[in-house]
Chains A and B, each alone.
Chain A
Amino acid sequence: MTFPTKDDLIDFLYDEARMLDEGYFDDWLALWTEDGHYWMPLDYKQADPIHETSLLYEDQFMLRLRVERLNGARTFSQKPKSRCHHVLNRPFVDEMDHDAGRFVTTTQMHYVETRLDEQFLLALTARHDLVLQDGKLKIAQKRVDILNCDAAFGNIQLLP
């Protein structure tokens, strides 16, 4: 891919959500750049991921640890396993800079996670910073804002 179209970007986001829902975590990890970070702020409109508490600000080591743990023999909070489900609104393509190979999208979605008799719903806004690397789109940063980020939550175990 040399010049991704708007549809290419949107397909990428749908594919990513499907990987998470269906548990194809190796494929999902391969979507990231080496220094890509997954950020989930704790505060509404939080500007600084590092010097304030966030819910997540994970590098590739942490993300790999997170998904490998899910399948561990002694991962007690995943016995039984959780399942999740993303419903995406059609993403906005906010920036397409073909010269720099840089693309920004905003996707509103509903995220459902369930385990045993419990199920919860989160309303999310995800901002993806995508880059073109060796002809492939990669996630350089993903920021996921939870609408009720200041509410008290129980375990959120999979990846919104």
Chain B
Amino acid sequence: MHTPQTRAAMEALVTPYQVHRDLYTSPEIYRLEMKHLFANTWVYVGHESQTPNKGDYFTTQIGDQPVIQVRHSDGEIHVLYNRCPHKGTKIAIDRTGNTGKFFRCPYHAWSFKTDGCLLAIPLKKGYDGTGLDQTESGKGMTAVGAVKNYRGFIFARLAPEGIGFDEFFGDSLSSIDNMVDRSPEGRLEVVGAPLRYMHRCNWKMLVENQTDTCHPMVAHESSAGTAVRIWEEMDQPEGTPKPAAMQIIAPFMSPYEFFENMGIRTWPNGHGHTGVSTSIHADYSEIPGYYDQMVEAYGEERAQQILGENRHNTVYFPNIMIKGPIQQLRNFIPLGADKTLVESWIFRLVGAPDELLARTAMYNRMINAPTSIVGHDDLEMYERAQEGLHADGMQWVNVQRLYEEGEDLEQTAVLNGTTERQMRNQFHAWLKFMTATMPAGQEAAE
């Protein structure tokens, strides 16, 4: 089917409680997402600790756009499109490195300052009088539209004009704040390489799953349920310390009522989180010394406030999720309508005991790895859905749980933790930023 690039055509695909399967399966919709949605929103690039020194760079992508995060000679972090303005060659292809004071294209040695400005071209007299300096190519590497470093997290908006950072994120930044505040020094550092897990499904399925509280006890019964059963069969005396898997994996088997009571908070522009009052991260064992460090850094009241938050998954629309209590970030990188790369990163709470980092790393491998017995069943569900959505007999995906007529997604709300409001919130934001730069158009073509 051909989808006109108009607001009316997009509106026809999203109702208040169901969305058309084309959002997941259509290569055309995917291309429009890359062109509009990922250009008009603030998308996560990387963490500043990945580029601590001048000239350090990190290559990644925003939507399907190759970019470089680089620390310029003035200490600021810049985000540039990763292509030479000459012939298009990627300037850097390793995932991380240090380029010194300038980038040099390996093809014809055009060189650029680390803010992108053209520095030199060999045999430059060949361009005398050609008007190169009047062209885009003559200016150097192109920077993205806007960059913001929020407490070490680098976000970028590709579009030169559009919604501001503060307006886009609003109060949702409290989840990043809480994760950073858990460091006695108020600082995070990326540790090691990310897990890289390939999914043959649409990126939005993964984002929706982050606040899908009605799936763990079903899809993960095979891992969490088996863990509980083995532990019971071991019949250990009261007080025997539980194996790590019991702390990390078993809570996935919590009953529906637990997830209902956990609560969900949604913010405008597609952001939201599970775990308002408590969460599956609330019962982790205490790490000796950590609480005292926090009290010393923040005072007792503030320390208790910081550690009293147990937010489970916070979705930053469009495509990342963070887990404050265990210092993780998952980046759902779209590679096609039916292909998504999931990168799972971990952070050290600078100044905190190493045991916290050990738990963070353990959670990452147990839950987020391609070898994870929890991840296996999630991926199975996504990929089955990606295939199932081709069924023409039913073309809509339902997100109606706890829907109420006239719900206002432009307002922050706290609700029963099993609501699908956060998914509806994401589709509301999807429509908003997908169509922000589209002509209105006529009624959708059938």
Residues of A within 8 A of B (CB): 40, 42-43, 46, 50-57, 59, 61-62, 64-66, 68-69, 72, 74-78, 150-157
Contact = CB atoms under 8 A, between A and B. Distances in A.
B243 A74 contact: no
B381 interface: yes
Given A64-B230, A65-B227, A43 B193 contact: yes
Q: What are the 4 tightest A-B residue pairs by CB atom distance, in nearest-first order?
A: A52-B192, A152-B196, A75-B222, A61-B243
B358 interface: yes
A123 B201 CA distance: 26
Nearest to A56: B371
Contacts of A40: 371
Given A74-B221, A152-B198, A154-B198, A50 B245 contact: no
B346 interface: yes
A53 B344 contact: yes
Contacts of B249: 65
A53 B195 contact: yes
Given A52-B191, A56-B369, A65 B226 contact: yes
Contacts of B192: 42-43, 46, 52-53
Nearest to A150: B193
A75 B370 CA distance: 16
B376 A42 contact: no
Contacts of A56: 365, 369, 371
Interface in B166-201: 191-200
B329 to A, nearest CB: 12
Contact of B222 (A59, A72, A156): A72
A27 B191 CA distance: 37
B219 to A, nearest CB: 7
A40 B381 CA distance: 25
A54 B192 CA distance: 10
Counting chain A CB atoms within 10 Å of each CB, which of B223, B246, B373, B375 scores highest? B373
Contacts of B244: 59, 61-62
Contacts of A42: 192-193, 195, 365, 369
Contacts of B195: 42, 53, 55
Given A51-B191, A65-B227, A154 B379 contact: yes
B208 interface: no
B193 A155 contact: no
A53 B314 CA distance: 21
10 contacts: A50-B361, A54-B365, A62-B243, A69-B226, A75-B222, A76-B381, A78-B222, A155-B375, A156-B370, A156-B371
A29 B199 CA distance: 31
A78 to B, nearest CB: 8
A66 B344 contact: no
A62 B247 CA distance: 12
Contacts of B296: none
Contacts of A72: 221-222, 225-226
B226 A68 contact: yes
B367 to A, nearest CB: 11
B349 interface: no
B357 interface: yes
A53 B193 contact: yes
B289 to A, nearest CB: 16
A53 B243 contact: no
B371 A61 contact: no
Given A53-B192, A55-B370, 10 more contacts: A42-B365, A53-B361, A54-B361, A56-B371, A61-B243, A61-B245, A69-B223, A76-B222, A78-B222, A153-B370
Contacts of A54: 361, 365
Contact of A157 (B230, B341, B366, B376): B376
A65 B245 CA distance: 9
Contacts of A153: 196-198, 370
A51 B230 contact: no
A61 B230 CA distance: 8
Nearest to A42: B193
B408 interface: no
The winner among A40, A53, A155 for most chain B CB atoms within 10 A is: A53
Contact of A75 (B365, B371, B377): B377
B380 interface: yes
A51 B361 CA distance: 6
Contacts of B221: 72, 74
B354 interface: yes
B178 to A, nearest CB: 22
Contact of B380 (A43, A50, A62, A77): A77
Interface in B117-136: none
